[in-house]
Structure 1
Amino acid sequence: MARPRAFDETAVLDAAAREFRVHGFAGTSTEQLCGAAGVRRSSLYNTFVSKEELFLRALRRYVEVTGARQRSVLADESVSGAQRLRDLLELIIGEEQEARSRGHAAGCMVVQSLMDPDLRGRDPRVADILEGDLRARISQLEGAIRAGQSDGSVSRRIDPAEGALLVTTVISGLRVTAQTGTPPEALRSIALAGLAALLLPRA
């Protein structure tokens, strides 16, 4: 009879994601992962086989959790489309503010992975996850932008697909900029400047 695992796999995946999102795949050691998850190296590899498989599962978990959180903001019909976009940026900045209180930036597994072509080239499953995540986020952003165009809070001169790419670019830039030590107040100013092309005055 197999012995029951002594740890919660989901908790380990979340702990691993917290390391990978800040340091990336190459910059995260097995020792860091074991320390963050509170498990022994042998237990980690008995369950997840390799660092690569742990990363893959942590990335899947990360895009599911962050995607659901962002989707709830962008689909909030109780506020205008413009406010949904602002709320999304506040969600990102809030994560960075919390991480800054612990002495580092929040980081992002997706951004880190997109910046690592070797990782994507080595495992096509990583590329598939990233592409699926991008499609989903673009679709959700397009929906919020169209809602804003309908309620008069977002400019109709902006193509929703292009606007969605703009917001995605702003968020990716915020994640990278936060890692330079830029404070949340400055990140917020950058984010709002990025949205200026989309939002109508007093929207």
Structure 2
Amino acid sequence: MLEASAKQFRTHGFADTSTEQLCEAAGVGRSSLYNTFASKDELFVRSLQRHVEITLDQQERVLTDAGLSGAARLTVLFDLILAEEAEARRGGNAAGCMIVASRMAPDLGRRDPRVQRILNRFMDQQALLLAGAVISGQLDRTLRREFSPQSAALMLISAISGIRVLSQSGTAVQELRRVADLHLDSLRTLSAKAQPES
């Protein structure tokens, strides 16, 4: 139920996701929904927590993969994000991002401090994972060394968020790919750009 609800919140945002959409997505009646979660707000918080767990698990697997160079880890991460957007586009919408949408609606965090804590924890952990991949790339010489890993991680976070927003606005997936490549190329060494990623 949480993953089905998260998909609705990701695509439509909190305010534009109706109880009817949530019931239909989860395959339950209104009474079952409220017996389990008490309110739409509670379902949102639990769905956000689940979405964050799944997202961090997916990103950790990619960004800590010792079989890939640092540059390749970042490339695979962006490949996953772009593939998700391409799949959603075939269904007639953008994949959306519950995390980005929640950040863009600060009233959610003010109404329930748990939302802000979940978002802050996600950003801290995502930044650590990305910085770790950048350090690996700097050590294996596939990523340039003049960037601090922390600054590079923040740049990558902004790129991921920006790609999600651009996709929601209808930007073509091919153009999203070019945007991702521009960000990745700014970090890659010349030798990494010249070789195909593994």
Q: TM-score range by the shorter chain?
A: over 0.9
Aligned to 1:128: 117
Aligned to 1:59: 48
Aligned to 1:150: 139
Aligned to 1:189: 178
Mapped to 1, the partners of 2:12 and 2:190 lie a distance apart of 39
In the alignment, which of 187, 192, 197 is matched to residue 198 of structure 1?
A: 187
After TM superposition, what 4+ stretches of structure 1 lie above 3 angstroms from structure 2? none
Deviations along 1:12-51, one digit per CA (max 9) or x if unpaired, are 1000000001111111111111111111001000000000
Identity of aligned residues (%): 52
Mapped pair 1:118 → 2:142: no
Mapped to 2, the partners of 1:99 and 1:180 lie a distance apart of 13
Mapped to 1, the partners of 2:95 and 2:176 lie a distance apart of 13
**Per the alignment, in what secondary structure is the counterpart of residue 106 of structure 1?**
coil
Mapped to 2, the partners of 1:61 and 1:191 lie a distance apart of 26
Aligned to 1:9: none
Aligned amino acid, residue 59 of structure 1:
L
TM-score (norm 1): 0.93
Deviation at 1:145, TM superposition (A): 0.1
TM-score (norm 2): 0.95
Deviation at 1:80, TM superposition (A): 0.5
Aligned to 2:168: 179
Aligned amino acid, residue 97 of structure 1:
A
Aligned amino acid, residue 90 of structure 1:
D
Gaps (5+ residues) in structure 2? 193-198
Aligned to 1:35: 24
Deviation at 1:107, TM superposition (A): 0.4
Aligned to 1:138: 127
Mapped pair 1:16 → 2:2: no
In the alignment, which of 79, 96, 101 is matched to residue 68 of structure 2?
A: 79
**Residues matched between the structures, number:** 192
Mapped pair 1:70 → 2:42: no
Aligned amino acid, residue 77 of structure 1:
A
Mapped to 1, the partners of 2:3 and 2:159 lie a distance apart of 25
Aligned amino acid, residue 166 of structure 2:
T
Considering only aligned residues, what root-mean-square deviation do their CA atoms show, in Å? 0.7
Deviation at 1:196, TM superposition (A): 2.2
